[in-house]
Amino acid sequence: MKQITVYNDIPAVSEICLGADGFGSKHDRDTAFRMLDAFRDAGGNFVDTANIYARDFAEGYSRSERILGEYLASRGKDSLVIATKGAHPDPKTMHTPRVTRECIEKDLDESLLSLGLDCIDIYYLHRDDPAMPIGEILEILDDFRKMGKIKRYAGSNYSAERVREAAEYAGAHGIPGFSFISNMWSPASQNPGAPLSGDDTLVRFEDADTASVTDNGMWFTPYSSSAKGWFAKKAAGRSDERLDGIFANGANLALLEHIVNMAGEESIPVQTALLRHIRSLGNIIPVTSASDMGQLEDILKV
C-alpha cells in the first residue's frame, strides 16, 4: 500500500485509513489484533477510532480505543498514525452539543489514557456546534496542541461553510487550523429524499463541497465512501432494496460500469477498484472499515 506525505510533523500515512469503529463491538480483541497486523503487514499505518466507538458508558471509556491501546502496547506504535475523535453528543440528547473546553478536555484525556499515548497524532471534534464561533473552537483545540496533547486537530461533520470559515480564521490568526475533515461522502450520488443514515447530525458532502477542504490545504478523510457496499453488491448481482432506493440512478450505474470494467482489467475485486477510483480523485484518504478478514483482504489490495 502506498503512503502519502500529508504534513511534516506526522509520518507519511497509508492511502487507506482503517476504521476501528467495530473494535469492541463487531470484533473482539483477537480479531482486531489480526486485522491490525494484516493492515500493517500490507503497508497500512493510518487508523481511525473515536471516544464514542463501542463505548462502555458505565465505565467511561471506548472499547475501540482500549483495544487499540492494548495493541499499541503489545506491538509498538512505531510509524502508526492514530486518529481519534471527541466531543460527540450524548446519544440520548444528540442535538445538545458538547463542544466546550471542559467536554473536549474530558474526552481527550480519556482517549489518551485508553490509547496509552502522551500525544494523539490527529484529534477530530466528532460534531460541530454551529452556534459557537468557529474561531473559539479552533483556539481551544490549538491550546491542546500547545500543551502537547495533540499534533494535528480536525473536524468531523462540519459543513462546507464552517470549513471555509475555519480556514479563513486560521489564516488570519496564524494558527494551524483544521488539517483533516471527515464527513459522509462517496462518489455515488444519493437520490433526493433517500438519506443513507437516520442521524441528522451527520454532515454529508456533495462532490462540490469537497473543494472547501482541498482548496484550503486540508485532507479529506470521508466515511461511508463505499456507499455501504452498493457497488460491490450490484456487481455481484445481489439485490438490496434499501440501498437501491438511495443509489440506483443513471449516474451511479454508469460509474458502476466503469468500476466493474476497472476491476476486470486489473483483475482485482470491485471494492478494491472503487477504492482506487476514490484515491485518484485528489487529496482524499477514505476511512474504511472491514466486516471480516475477507473484506479486509480486498481493501488491502488497493
Residue ranges of domains in the chain, CATH in brackets:
3-228+271-300 (3.20.20.100)
Rounded Cα distance, 220 and 240, in Å: 28
Q: What is the pLDDT of residue 66?
A: 99
Chain mean position to CA 17: 7
β-partners of residue 18 are 47, 288
Q: What is the pTM of this model?
A: 0.96
In this structure, the number of other CB atoms found within 10 A of the CB of residue 147 comes to 11
pLDDT of the residue at 194: 85
Torsion from C-alpha of 246, 250, 254, 255, nearest 10 degrees: -30
> Which H/E stretch holds residue 152?
strand 150-156
How many whole angstroms separate alpha carbon 112 and alpha carbon 118? 6
221 in Cβ contact with 286 (< 8 Å)? yes
- One digit per residue, the tens of pLDDT, for the chain of length 302 reads 999 999 999 999 999 999 999 999 999 999 999 999 999 999 999 999 999 999 999 999 999 999 999 999 999 999 999 999 999 999 999 999 999 999 999 999 999 999 999 999 999 999 999 999 999 999 999 999 999 999 999 999 999 999 999 999 999 999 999 999 999 999 999 999 888 889 999 999 999 999 999 999 999 999 999 999 999 999 999 989 999 999 999 999 999 999 999 999 999 999 999 999 999 999 999 999 999 999 999 999 99
DSSP type of residue 205: P
CA dist 86 and 111 (Å) reads 8
Which pLDDT does position 239 carry in this prediction? 84
CB atoms within 10 A of CB 194: 14
Residue 195: predicted pLDDT: 85
Rg (CA), the chain: 19
